[in-house]
Amino acid sequence: MGFSHPQTLLSKEPVVTPLRKRMIENMQMRNFAPKTIHIYVDVVARFARYFGKSPEQLGAEEVRQYLLHMVQDKKLAWATYKQALAALRYLYRWVLNGPEVVQDIRCPRPERRLPVVLSFDEVQRFFSAIPLFKQRMILMTAYAAGLRIAEVVHLEVSDVDSQRMVIHVRHGKRNKDRYTMLSPVLLQMLRHYWVAARPVRYLFPGRSLDQHMSVSVVQRACRDARLRAELDKAVTPHTLRHSFATHLLEAGTDLRVIQQLLGHANPRTTALYTYVSTKLISETQSPFDLLDLTGKGTP
């Protein structure tokens, strides 16, 4: 009933043990996203390999030791630690139906790192540095609609609603649907793109029309464009999403509207963009300017 198996170390394909199978089926029944299932299963497999035992033979003390190992020895990022914590909690509570073995584990204080945001000039230079039409269009769509990379590659032709001027985002994060804006300029460009590419199902197909473009292709196109544009900032598809949100905020768009467009469950996530908007900072008057200091600071 173990989670990992010696053969796992000798083969690229993991052995599907009864416990692994039960965990996968349990998450599928709860409608977990495939990416989340993969992450949780991988976390539990690493946990089992660390101790060389099945999680069924491990308890609260081993969980504590493993999490401390991640923080103190591996020095993993906060997001990675949080995923491991959630995966182990899920395993013991919902799969093994045991006591809450993770209840006494305290999460480390997360570091707040501000997202990278491009200026309008940098966005223009970035798009001008993408030579292939389809790659340029998919990254433009990601920016114009504030989409995550998984959302933009899964877009279907029917998701573009030119009558209501919205884009239907299906199965976004946490498997939630939403609508986001359809820019009139983007719509005109997508019409030209459709005439040239003739996509059938997916708006941005891969090598075959019945498959969407892979995430790795988009990431590589993004990396290459950043180098061609000679941008000093690190640019990923998610950087375009951050830039979209920040530019909307600087244009005066209400934070609640931006939250809905981005599909954020927590408004505090959207509020992060108030920390990176240099326009809002520069246009805010300092209380020092309100003081009457005429003639009092001159030598």
Where in the sequence numbering do the catalytic residues fall? 148, 173, 238, 241, 264, 273
Collapsing DSSP to helix, strand or coil, 241 comes out as helix
Q: What are 17's two structure tokens?
A: 């043990």
Are the C-beta atoms of 261 and 269 separated by less than 8 Å?
no
- Distances from the Cα of 227 to the Cα of 121, 122, 167, angstroms: 16, 12, 30
Q: What DSSP state is assigned to residue 163? A: T
Q: What b/e string do you get for 93-109 counting C-beta neighbours within 10 Å, with b at 16 or more? A: eebeeeeebbeeeeeee
- How far is it, in rounded angstroms, from Cα 281 to Cα 100? 45
Are the C-beta atoms of 177 and 263 separated by less than 8 Å?
no
Largest CA distance in the chain: 82
Q: What are 244's two structure tokens?
A: 């979209």
